[in-house]
Amino acid sequence: MPSLREQLPWTSAPIIVNAPMAGFAGGKLASAVTLAGGLGMIGGIFSVDDIRKELQIASEAFKSHPTLGSSRTLPVGVGFLTFVLKLEDVLPAVQKFKPAVVWLFASKSLDDYTEWAAAVRKVSPDSKIWIQVGSVTAALHVAKMAQPDVLCLQGADAGGHGFEKCAGIISLLPEASDALAQEGLSQISLVASGGIVDGRGVAAALTLGAQAVVMGTRFLASKEVNVHPGYQAAVLEAQDGGQITTRSKMFDQLRGPNIWPEMYDGRSLMVQSHKDYMNGMGLEEIQKLHGEAVSEDDKGFKAGLQGRAVMWAGTGVGLVKQVDSAKDIVESARRQAKEILEKVARL
């Protein structure tokens, strides 16, 4: 099995990936990350038409590039939330754009990935399959059944949705790596996500055995992300990530019944809706106030966590202090990680 760098030949080590954050990570962000030597990802949610538009934007961005414009696959990844999208709706877009990576996450049953992986490989044999999981058991099961090229081990610090029961990457990644090795499944590359926002986190993940790192929250403060200014301001303002964010299924009930599969919850900044919930306010009242807040001009995003709209963010949010270009984020994380690893190696 070729190494991750060989599979993604335009990348520089260590490989930095932006998370396929649905609605936030579009073609503009993905192409900027790829052009900086990372792996850019586009996040897809309900509409395949929107995903096509974003893939087209990325494709245009590479057109005049001497090598990326003519590569066999489109040098970005696209993420699908498999519990919301229908496989048959997604496949024509995959076949047309041939993304270098197809990222799968949040299936109703872990077995669903097997069908998705096989179908994607059939319509686009050069696309690599990446699947994000949050436990050792899931990593083993998915590795055996769906045979992905890459497993992304998502730790508890991650922003957005993840396994309700999960460990941080510091134990999750090595335990998953050992378990996979024991079953003869070491050919699957492992990448890490959850709480990584700079070169220090990148270096740590590499020493745990990751071959690449995925960052979501850090890219919420990038110039190319699609995010409401009030949400971005709250990310910059946040301090002390373990205190100011929390995991809860309540966030998925703000708009009505929770549609997420049972095993997932999500990490968000502790907005007013959550504070009210903890203080015993009934869900119906919280939903009513939320509905009113998101129809206002600021869409429910207010400074000082006074807003009611959910703002997905990981525990690394306290380290995110400024908005930078995706290029600067990727290059500085890469440079800092290398410097740290060299320094540590001298010890």
Q: By CB under 6 A, is residue 158 in contact with ligand FMN?
A: yes
Give the nearer residue to ligand FMN in terms of CB position, either 97 or 264.
264
Binding residue for ligand FMN (CB under 6 A) from 26, 77, 79, 307? 79
Binding residue for ligand FMN (CB under 6 A) from 314, 318, 326, 329? 314
Per DSSP, the residues of 17-56 read EE---TTT--HHHHHHHHHTTSBEEEEE-S-HHHHHHHHH
Give the nearer residue to ligand FMN in terms of CB position, either 81 or 120.
81
Binding residue for ligand FMN (CB under 6 A) from 85, 129, 151, 196? 196
Cβ neighbours of 234 (radius 10 Å) = 26
Q: How far is the CB of 246 from ligand FMN (least distance, A)?
A: 14
Using CB under 6 A as the criterion, what x/- string covers residues 294-313 for binding ligand FMN? ------------------xx
Quote the distance between the C-alpha of residue 84 and its chain's center. Answer: 16
Give the nearer residue to ligand FMN in terms of CB position, either 97 or 163.
163
CB 208 within 8 A of CB 192: yes
CB 285 within 8 A of CB 178: no
Q: By CB under 6 A, is residue 160 in contact with ligand FMN?
A: yes
Using CB under 6 A as the criterion, what x/- string covers residues 35-54 for binding ligand FMN? --------x-----------
What are the structure tokens assigned to 14, written together?
């260590």
Q: By CB under 6 A, is residue 99 in contact with ligand FMN?
A: no
Give the nearer residue to ligand FMN in terms of CB position, either 79 or 209.
79
* Gap between the Cα atoms of 226 and 22, Å rounded: 10
* Gap between the Cα atoms of 272 and 119, Å rounded: 43
Exposed, middle or buried, 332 (CB in 10 Å: 0-12/13-18/19+)? middle
Instruction: With contacts defined by CB under 6 A, name the span among 14-22, 183-191, 279-287, 328-336 that binds ligand FMN.
Output: 14-22
Instruction: With contacts defined by CB under 6 A, name the span among 154-162, 181-189, 251-259, 287-295 that binds ligand FMN.
Output: 154-162
Q: How far is the CB of 191 from ligand FMN (least distance, A)?
A: 10
Q: Which of 212, 201, 207 is nearest to 151 (CA)?
A: 212
Beta strand 150-154 with 189-193 is: parallel
Cβ neighbours of 258 (radius 10 Å) = 15
The helix (run of H) or strand (run of E) holding residue 150 is: strand 150-154
Using CB under 6 A as the criterion, what x/- string covers residues 224-243 for binding ligand FMN? --------------------
Beta strand 128-133 with 74-81 is: unpaired
Give the nearer residue to ligand FMN in terms of CB position, either 97 or 251.
251
Give the residue nearest to ligand FMN (CB): 216
Instruction: With contacts defined by CB under 6 A, name the span among 17-25, 32-40, 169-177, 300-308 that binds ligand FMN.
Output: 17-25
* Gap between the Cα atoms of 177 and 175, Å rounded: 5
Judged by the rule CB under 6 A, the positions of this chain that interact with ligand FMN are 19-22, 24, 43, 79, 81, 105, 132, 154, 157-160, 193-196, 214-217, 220, 312-314, 316
